[in-house]
Amino acid sequence: MRLKDKTALITGAGSGIGRETALLFAKEGARVVATDINDEGGKETVAMIREAGQEAAYFHADVSKAADCEAMVAFAERTYGKLDILFNNAGIMHNDDGDAVSTEEAIWDLTMNINVKGVFFGCKYGIPALRRAGGGSIINTASFVALLGAATPQIAYTASKGAVLSMTRELAIIHARENIRVNALCPGPLRTELLMKFLNTEEKKQRRLVHIPMGRFGEAREMAAAVLYLASDESSYVTGSEFMVDGGITAAYVTPE
């Protein structure tokens, strides 16, 4: 098993990428701490893991609050003795997020508080725990829109994921000599509730699909497989990366300098 004897903390574990990653991590031998603001979804993820005979515990956490992030890390160490893997995955894409003219300040602030500050707080309190464990792996969920503009306007989300990618690079450099690796998962458009609620018409869906060389939306389980690689010792020489899992969309549109 690729994560045997490892403890992993996953935010936003109640659905989508977070849930699929939690299930896969547990299958690969990790003890999983699943956190979410949605208690029903988070507890359901933990129940699924336990029903399979694997180890998991749930902790309610709003990642936009420093106290919650400090508490979730403390819970992981208290419950399983250490923290080896931190997956800062929780995020939102608000239906009222549009272009700069139409997006309200409140939507901007909410998006930044969860998507950016949540990653910052996760690292702020998670990095000392990884140090205590002798090192580990941090994976932050960014997006292909950190490198490309989105075909359907979502200014706050795009800006937030650009910030996550920049933060990941700096943290990777700072902590590289401490046996702490920091990478950004950059998913392409996915068939998850988060995106499908935003692309709520067939026209919006087609505006995304036409840009994806593979011609389909990705699946959450495909992202989980990528996160597993970044969390495992197989990626021991990988840090500071923008790990693209995007159906080819950035290859099609990003021009090399």
Task: Please identify every residue annotated as catalytic.
Answer: 157
According to DSSP, residue 97 is labeled -
According to DSSP, residue 254 is labeled P
The span from the first CA to the last CA of the chain, in angstroms, equals 40
Contact between 89 and 17 under an 8 Å Cβ cutoff? The reply is yes
Residues in Cβ contact with 121 at an 8 Å cutoff, skipping those fewer than 6 apart = 63, 64, 65, 66, 68, 69, 70
**Residue 180 phi, psi dihedral angles, 5° rounding:** -115, 115
CA–CA separation, 257 vs 255, rounded Å? 6
